[in-house]
Amino acid sequence: MHPTLLHFGNFVVPTFGVLAAIGLISALILSQRTARLVHLDPNRLWDAGLFTLLFAFILSRLLLVVTNLHTFLSYPLLLLAVPSLTPLGILLTLIATAIYLRLRNLPILDTLDAWAPCATLVWAVLALGHLAEGSDPGMITSVPWAIPSSTGLSRLHPIALYAAAIAFALTFLLLRQLRHRAHPGDTIALALATAGIAQFLLSFLRQPALYGTPFSEIVDPIQWAAITMVIAAGLILITQRREPRRRIIEAGSFARTNDSQ
């Protein structure tokens, strides 16, 4: 494991942070290609991506400071270096992004389709970051490709490596699907469904989370998130399938009205 990329005195460059930056920049660059595939202005999609990333970063730090004010006053730089993207932060970021897209007249489903391969690319690179710092431990196993635990007393499933392989494969799949999508929303629905199922299955090989959530004795927090992703994919498919049908019905009603006149 290599959690630190560079270390000079008090100056530390974490491997995860560097890989996260590489992943986000790569996703923004990829969005310029996917924007054209869904017939969106690449510059406007770039601006929307920057807005989402900056809002998520600033909001996560703000929530971290508000919920840990005493620690922040004592160790401000140390606290701000802690990863802090919480469920509340993700929800507020999604709401702010939806408002931004509406104000900028960017179609939400087309935008999400364009962002889907970019998101899985970020997931792949972040998984490599978790692998480098050993922060996503798997269950004990005897498979030949197992990696040593932090104590060296056992060997574990390389969950982060599994996740990275799945995410890279899904990125290529989504790029291929994006070129031949039949309806807006198809690509993001495929991304949510496949990523959700993958995360749900990986959770059976991952060590249980140390923090609890409602019904955590039954379903792991990551499994809750995975189930939510699959449900969201289903809702998108149901919504975008109904829209063409409603338009056909309205068109038929309009034609009958004109014939009667």
The one-digit pLDDT tens for each residue of the chain (261 residues) are 677 777 776 667 788 889 999 999 999 999 999 999 999 999 999 999 999 999 998 888 888 888 888 777 777 766 666 666 777 888 899 999 999 999 999 999 999 999 999 999 999 999 999 999 888 889 999 999 999 988 888 999 999 999 999 999 999 999 999 999 989 999 999 999 999 999 999 999 998 765 555 555 567 788 888 999 999 999 999 887 655 444 433 434 433 444 444
Contact, 105 vs 113, CB < 8 A?
no
- The DSSP code for 156 is E
Contact, 170 vs 120, CB < 8 A?
yes
> To which H or E segment does residue 19 belong?
helix 15-37
Supply φ then ψ for residue 135, to 5 degrees.
-100, 5
Q: Cβ contacts of residue 193 below 8 Å, gap of 6+? A: 229, 230, 233, 234
Contact, 84 vs 65, CB < 8 A?
no
d(Cα 45, Cα 31) in Å, to the nearest integer?
7
Q: At what angle do helices 159-179 and 15-37 cross, to 10 degrees?
A: 10
d(Cα 229, Cα 195) in Å, to the nearest integer?
8
- The DSSP code for 208 is P
Residue type for 117, please?
P
